[in-house]
Amino acid sequence: MDAVTIDFFEERTSRAEVLIEGLPGIGHVGKLVAEHLIHELDARKVAEITSCYFPPQVIIEGDGVARLARNEVYLSEGEHPAAFLVGDYQSTSGEGHYVLAEAYLDVAQQMEVRRIYTLGGYGVGHLVEIPRVLCAVNRAELRGEVEAAGGEFSEDEPAGGIIGASGLLLGLARRRSLDAVCLMGETSGYLVDPKSATSLLRVLSALLGIDVDSTQLQDRASEMEQVIARLAEIHQARQDDELSYIG
């Protein structure tokens, strides 16, 4: 079996100008913004990604149908088509993070994207009145454009590093001569954070040159809170029951 399986739904891979990654992470800021954009831009699902590096479980959907834990690629129509990478989980192992990030880049290159945006949260451990959007790039020349859009660069934050797909995509894309920008919304990190997501969406919209309504971010955050609570419950159950498998 392959460590990662990518299933494209359409015979001919569609092109996109950018790939926007919003996988689960701190405060679920990236996930919230990416899923909001998918909804607002009416993007359609074009691929599913499964992997033995995702947790060994299925998700049960509302109709009682089980499906593998997975990541998904969506594509928006229009003059400037954008691809979105969202999903249930990130890798369960360190090596898997690298293997999956390379697979995501393969998808990006198949879709001929010219730039990758990775979205995440920057956890500060306390409530934030006006969340900043901290940024990183994988080529110095990208910095000016990001600052013009309202993104901030801070020499001391995020304490030197970005963990998981949002970080690795920048590092590994550089090797493929692919531009990548990471946007991190400042957040307490405790809950799904619509305020941080609103700040992040503002900067991303400016970079994409589109206008996106953010009024539904609050509602979407509440829904997501529930879904995430359920996934966390499974994770807890998995750890509790680990002994069940072995005796």
Minimum CB distance to its own copies smaller for 10 or for 233? 233
- Between residue 189 and residue 228, which ones bind its own copies under the rule CB under 8 A? 189, 227-228
Q: What is the pattern of x (binds its own copies, CB under 8 A) and - over residues 115-154?
A: --------x-----------xxxxxx--x---------x-
The minimum distance between CB 211 and its own copies, in angstroms, equals 27
Residue 237 interacting with its own copies (CB under 8 A) = yes
Q: Which residues, in sequence order, are bridge partners of residue 115?
A: 18, 179
Give the C-alpha separation, 119 to 124, whole Å: 16
Choose between 211 and 242: whose C-beta lies nearer to its own copies: 242
Written as six digits, the tokens of 8 are 């494209």
Longest dimension (CA), the chain: 59
Name the residue type at position 207. L
CA distance 200 to 133: 6
Our finding on whether 177 is near its own copies (CB under 8 A) is: no
Q: How many CB atoms lie within 10 A of CB 158?
A: 20
Closest CB to its own copies among residues 107, 162: 162
Cα 37 from Cα 84, distance rounded (Å)? 9
Smaller CB distance to its own copies: residue 174 or 202?
Answer: 174
- Cα torsion 98, 101, 107, 108: sign: negative
Q: Rule CB under 8 A: is residue 241 a binding residue for its own copies? A: yes
- The verdict on 95 binding its own copies (CB under 8 A) reads yes
Contact with its own copies (CB under 8 A) among 80, 171, 218, 219: 171
Residue 75, beta-bridge partner list = 44, 83
Using the rule CB under 8 A, is 110 a contact of its own copies?
no
Which pair of structure tokens corresponds to residue 89?
Answer: 């989980």
Single residue of 16, 82, 182, 217 touching its own copies by CB under 8 A: 182
Q: Report yes or no: 26 and 187 within 8 Å, Cβ to Cβ.
A: yes
Q: Which two tokens stand for residue 14?
A: 């569609």
154 DSSP assignment: B
Q: How far is the CB of 25 from its own copies (least distance, A)?
A: 5
Residues 48-87 that bind its own copies (CB under 8 A): 50, 52-53, 55-60, 62-69
Please pick, from the candidates 19, 22, 24, 34, the single residue that binds its own copies as defined by CB under 8 A: 24
Report the residue from 36, 97, 115, 220 that binds its own copies according to the rule CB under 8 A: 97
32 alpha-carbon distance from chain centroid: 9
CB of 233 to its own copies, least distance (A): 5
CB of 10 to its own copies, least distance (A): 18
Length reported for the chain: 247
